[in-house]
Amino acid sequence: MTTLSAIPIRQPFIDMILAGVKTWEIRSKFTKKIGPVALIRSGSGTVVATATLAEVIKLTAEFAYENLNNMGIKSMPREKANNFEGKYAWVLKDIIKLNTPVPYKHPPGAVTWVALDESTTDKVIAEAKSSLKVKSMPNITYR
């Protein structure tokens, strides 16, 4: 059995993802992990969603500014987009908000990824099957 990797995401960003207004999780590091993931509400001890990590995009300030909506940002001055230069957009698709969050044990030192055990993975997958997909704003990219 394959287990899920989970991404801890802080407030308010996890709530924006679950509300469908944010589909890019901005990180300082690149990842090669593409495929199904679980999403953790940081500090809660629970998995709250599943998603597909579809793509990782290295950002330029211009590209970030053209895609503010994917980051859940309504508007900002163009010069502030410089803060995103060199960061990475982890593109989330097929987001499913779990009806009932699934508890998990957070390993010490896990910041970017948490490896879920087999039992927790089974519970997350079962809960996702009975939960609804999040309707999100369309991803618009200008590559």
How much is the pLDDT for 132? 80
Question: According to CATH, what is the number of the domain 5-133?
Answer: 2.30.130.30
Rounded Cα gap, residues 17 and 14, in angstroms? 5
pLDDT, average across residues 109-136: 92
Beta strands at 5-9 and 35-41: parallel, antiparallel or unpaired: parallel
Among candidate residues 123, 113, 110, 11, the one with its CA nearest the CA of residue 53: 113
- Greatest Cα pair distance, the chain, in angstroms, is 47
How much is the pLDDT for 133? 86
In contact, 132 and 97? CB cutoff 8 Å: yes
pLDDT at residue 18 above 90? yes
Rounded Cα gap, residues 42 and 141, in angstroms? 28
pLDDT at residue 142 above 50? no
The pTM score is: 0.91
Round the average pLDDT of the chain to a whole number and report it.
93
How is 38-70 classified by DSSP, letter by letter?
Answer: EEEETTTTEEEEEEEEEEEEE--HHHHHHTGGG
The single-letter DSSP state of residue 28 is S
How much is the pLDDT for 8? 97
How much is the pLDDT for 1? 54
In contact, 98 and 4? CB cutoff 8 Å: no
User: How confident is the model over 62-94, as pLDDT tens digits?
Assistant: 999 999 999 999 999 999 999 999 999 999 999
pLDDT, average across residues 107-136: 92
